[in-house]
Structures are given as structure tokens and as C-alpha cells.
Amino acid sequence: MYHDARPSVWDPQQYLLYAEQRARPFHDLVARIPVERPDYVVDLGCGPGGLTAKLERRWPGAKIVGVDASAEMIQRARGCEGVEFVRADVREWAPEAAVDVMVSNAMLQWVPEHARVLRRLASFLAPGGWLAFQVPGNYEEPAHVEMRDLAASARWADRIEVAWPVVHDPVEYVDVLCDLGMAVDVWETTYVHLLDGPDDVLEWLRGSGLRPVIAQLSEAEADEFVEQYRARLHEAYPAGRHGTVLRYRRIFAVGHI
């Protein structure tokens, strides 16, 4: 996870409410890295560490390092065995040696100008190294459109200032990685998550995109904003016969030197 310019706190417990759904893109990404015995593997934006620990089982014998800017996430992650965890801003972090596999799952969207940061990260790869990342591509879905619209409304415009996450078109990631001399595999997938009810969409966003918004508000203001947002989500995501459907597009990129 990445810390925004304004102070805010990641809540590992809230983030893990939908751990299974959040984990699936990570597994789909790692499955496209055909490396048998890397020596040094890094997970950038490791969050609470559970997925990083799975890298140790995928590549036993490798040195596995998880990096995250959130003190709360790193504290939770350090309960995982067999992995080293480091608190650092990805824009400033540097590895202790050349990296064989560098993975980043749903983190780069929080990093301003992350296309430029990707060039820096690629410079840390060992010959034959791999850089693989995944970012959400769903910022035009109602959950995010309604959040931005509400934050810009007359009630909240002078109280909320957020550097909203930014991702690029998949073709732009192709260009960035190809410009670095990499063989490239870029794709996108839209997951269709079936949730129990309309409030599940709100709880999902509490663990990620809503966090930097309510962090700027007093407790009473945050409660007010959340209730207004809840009403919008109920309209945008009505419960169906089998639950509430949350469409979630994600963009994947794997580069190999």
C-alpha cells in the first residue's frame, strides 16, 4: 500500500474483509511469471503480507522481501514467517542486490507519475529479470464516479482534496516496458464479484479508495459523507436475485529483460 500526501491510515483488517477476491488478481499475475528458481524476489506494496508469504511457497529458497509505505500494513505483515518486510516509499526504495522477480499488486495507482517510477524499478532487475504488476482499471465504474462526484459537491468541495488514483491505458504500459527493452505481456480482465448485498460495495471501498477521502474529515463529517455515499451506492448497485454484482476491471503487465 502507498501513503498519500495527506496523512491517512490503512486498516489491514478492513482491507482483508474481501481478501479472497483481492487475492485472485495477484495469483493470476504471478502465474504468468515462468521462473523456476529465482534468488531474490520483491513484492512492492505488500500490504498485510499474506500474499507475499505465498511467494515464499512458490519459490522456496529465494530471498523474499515485502515493501510497503504503511506502518500499519508492515506491522501486520511481520507476523508472516519466512519473509523480510521493509517499510519504505517505492519512489525512494532500492534493493540490496539485483532483483530476479519484482511484483507489484494494486499499488502503483497510488504513486504519482508511476510510469516514470517503473523505469527506475526496472533498473534494479538482474539480467533475465522480471517486472510484473497489476493495477485497477475500474475508475469509471459507478463506485468511483459517485465517490468523486460526491467529494466535488457543494457540501464537500472545500473539505476534501484528493489526488485520485491514476492508471494508464494498457497500450501505454506496453510502450513503457518495450522502451526499456523488455519482452512484454499486457492484458486486462474484468472480474465479476458477487457480493452479499449493496453495503458490501461500501465496505470494499472503505478498505481502499474511500480511505484517503474520509481521512480528511472529522468523525462526524466522515459519518455524514459515508451515509451519503451509501445511498448513492444502493442506487448504483441494487441487490439482484443472487446478490450484488461488482464489476472490477484490472490491468496486468509483465516485462522480461
Pick the CATH number of 12-256 from 3.90.1170.50, 3.40.50.300, 3.40.50.970, 3.40.50.150: 3.40.50.150
CA distances from 120 to 124, 180, 208 (A): 7, 10, 26
End-to-end Cα separation, the chain, in angstroms: 26
Give Cα 146 distance to the centre of its chain: 20
Q: What percent of the chain has pLDDT over 70?
A: 93
C-beta separation of 54 from 103 below 8 A: no
For 77-125, how does the pLDDT look when each residue is reduced to its tens digit (9 = 90+)?
A: 988 888 999 999 999 999 999 999 999 999 999 898 999 999 999 999 9
Q: Dihedrals φ, ψ of 232, to 5°?
A: -65, -40
pLDDT at 245: 94
The residues spanned by each domain of the chain are 12-256
HSE-CB for 218 with a 13 A CA cutoff: 2
Mean local confidence (pLDDT), 39-64: 94
d(CA 111, CA 2): 7
Q: Which three cell numbers stand for residue 15?
A: 482491507
The cell numbers describing 142, all together, are: 459507478
Cβ neighbourhood burial of 83 (10 Å; 0-12, 13-18, 19+): buried
- DSSP annotation of 110 reads G
The model's pLDDT over 180-204, given as tens digits with 9 standing for 90+, comes to: 999 999 999 999 999 987 799 999 9
Q: What is the DSSP string of 200-230?
A: HHHHHHHTTTTHHHHTTS-HHHHHHHHHHHH
Report d(CA 139, CA 165) in Å as an integer. 8
Reported as a single tens digit per residue, the pLDDT across 1-22 is: 333 333 345 455 554 556 788 8
Higher pLDDT, 169 or 12: 169
Nearest to 42 by CA among 165, 129, 117, 112: 129
Name the average pLDDT for the chain.
Answer: 91
